[in-house]
Amino acid sequence: HGIGDLFHCAPSIPHYAGNKARGVMKAGMTFTIEPMINAGSWDSTIWPDGWTVVTVDGKRSAQFEHTLLCTETGCEVLTARTPTSPPLWWEQK
């Protein structure tokens, strides 16, 4: 999805096979990629709070997000780790 004044704004880019999304990313556009990795079913349901999404089989699932900026020469991952980023828990000694 795009990044802007509204939460989860356009463009919405589905991440599943056979989607019908069309368009061209242009320099200056910023968007996120939010993959979801599931131990079981890909099918999901939304809880009554209107926010929480769970898999229909209740198995473990993880979702993460990266933010990308389209540039004239490609893209820049704005959420990428840098050489001065603190170590992740599995990198700690």
Residue range 25-71, pLDDT digits in tens: 889 988 888 888 899 998 989 999 988 889 999 999 988 888 999 99
Contact call for residues 69 and 78 (beta carbons, < 8 A): yes
Rg (CA), the chain: 16
* Residue 18: pLDDT band with limits 50, 70, 90: confident
* Residue 1: pLDDT band with limits 50, 70, 90: low
* Nearest residue to 30 (alpha-carbon basis) of 58, 11, 6, 47: 11
Which residue did the predictor score with more confidence, 2 or 53? 53
pLDDT at 7 over 70: no
Which residue did the predictor score with more confidence, 76 or 22? 76
Rounded to 5°, angle at Cα 68 from 65 and 69: 160
